[in-house]
Amino acid sequence: MHALIPPIADSPARRHLLRGAAAALLPTLGLPAAAAGPAPLQVGGLPVTCNLTLPVACVARATTNAADRSGGPQFTYEYSKYNGWPEIKESLMTGRIQAAYMLAPLVMDLADRKIPVKIVSLGHRSGAVIMVRTDSPYQKFKDLTRKRIAIPSRFAVDFLFLRKMLAREGMTPKDIEVVEMPPPDMPAALYAKAVDAYCTGEPFGAAAQRAGYARALRMTRDEWRNYICCVLTVREELIRDNRPLVQDLVNHVLGAGQWLDQKQDNRNKAVTIAAGRKFFNQDPNIIRFVMENPVDRVTYGDLRMIRAEFEDLMQLSIEAGTIKGPIAYEKYMDESFAKAARAATIPL
Domain boundaries, the chain: 11-19+39-125+228-340, 128-223
Mean pLDDT for the stretch of residues 165-183: 94
- Residue 11: pLDDT over 60: no
Q: Which amino acid makes up residue 265? A: D
Q: Which CATH architecture best describes the domain 11-19+39-125+228-340?
A: 3-Layer(aba) Sandwich (3.40)
- Residue 316: pLDDT over 70: yes
Residue 121 in 3-state DSSP?
strand
pLDDT band at 298 (very low <50, low <70, confident <90, very high): very high
Q: What's the whole-number average pLDDT of the chain?
A: 89
pLDDT digits (tens, 9 = 90+) for 189-223: 999 999 999 999 999 999 999 999 999 999 999 99
Q: What is the pLDDT of residue 99?
A: 98
pLDDT band at 13 (very low <50, low <70, confident <90, very high): very low
Mean pLDDT for the stretch of residues 53-57: 98
Count Cβ atoms within 10 A of the Cβ of residue 312 and give its class: 0-12 exposed, 13-18 middle, 19 or more buried: middle
pLDDT band at 37 (very low <50, low <70, confident <90, very high): low
Q: Report how far residue 152's alpha carbon sits from residue 185's, in angstroms, rounded to the nearest whole number.
A: 10
Q: Report how far residue 99's alpha carbon sits from residue 256's, in angstroms, rounded to the nearest whole number.
A: 17
- Residue 71: pLDDT over 60: yes
pLDDT band at 85 (very low <50, low <70, confident <90, very high): confident
Q: Do domains 11-19+39-125+228-340 and 128-223 have the same CATH topology?
A: yes
Q: Which of 253, 264, 226 has its CA nearest to residue 128?
A: 226
- For the CA atoms of 317, 85, 213, 198, the dihedral, rounded to the nearest 10 degrees, stands at -20
- Residue 15: pLDDT over 60: no
Q: Report how far residue 183's alpha carbon sits from residue 167's, in angstroms, rounded to the nearest whole number.
A: 24
Q: What is the DSSP letter of 333?
A: B
Query: What pTM was computed for the model?
Result: 0.85
Mean pLDDT for the stretch of residues 276-302: 95
Q: What is the pLDDT of residue 268?
A: 97
Q: What is the pLDDT of residue 38?
A: 76
Q: What is the pLDDT of residue 70?
A: 85
Q: In percent, how much of the chain has pLDDT > 90? A: 82
Task: Give the domain 128-223 fold.
Answer: D-Maltodextrin-Binding Protein; domain 2 (3.40.190)
- Residue 244: pLDDT over 60: yes
Q: What is the pLDDT of residue 175?
A: 97
pLDDT digits (tens, 9 = 90+) for 97-155: 999 999 999 999 999 999 999 999 999 999 999 999 999 999 999 999 999 999 988 88
pLDDT band at 4 (very low <50, low <70, confident <90, very high): very low
Q: What is the pLDDT of residue 194?
A: 98
H or E, element range at 41: strand 41-45
- Residue 14: pLDDT over 70: no
Q: Which of 122, 12, 86, 79 has its CA nearest to residue 276?
A: 79
